[in-house]
Amino acid sequence: MSIMLKVIQYLRDPHSNKIKKLKKEYQELDELSNIAVEIGDVAAYRSLQKEMRDVYFDYLTAIVVDALYNIVPHVLIIWLISIKFKTVTIPIIKYETSVFAAYMVGYLSFMLGRWMFNYIKPKLCAKTDIVGLAGLQKIK
């Protein structure tokens, strides 16, 4: 079962380990660079700054690739929906909007609702003794 969870985690966020490693390496180089400044070693400082630039650009590249991995499923979903429907009609006010706008509003509403739920859940669990209601668990 744990192998399955590792596979799912990797597919969900394939570059997280690389990003963490590069960030840690950059922080270590920054600390060494500060030490080189304190002791006045100009050659070591320049060498560390060059290596920091290389690590930083690798870090930025990994973040951009990770962002592309996160946005591709949304682009595919919008594309598949737009093949069938060119516009979406909002039923209450009879207003037509593009599939992209409707998807963005729906996605932002979902993210806002999830954020609000995660914000309210600990407060609700702390005030009540209800355990198991809608997946809520008491925080210890």
For Cα atoms 85, 76, 118, give the angle at the middle one, nearest 5 degrees: 100
Domain map of the chain by residue range? 2-84, 99-140
Place of tokens 């060494």: 32
Q: Contact, 22 vs 55, CB < 8 A?
A: yes
d(CA 81, CA 91): 18
Q: What is the pLDDT of residues 105-138, one digit of tens each?
A: 889 999 999 999 988 888 777 655 555 555 555 5
Q: What is the pLDDT of residues 70-115, one digit of tens each?
A: 888 889 999 998 899 888 888 888 888 888 888 898 899 999 999 9
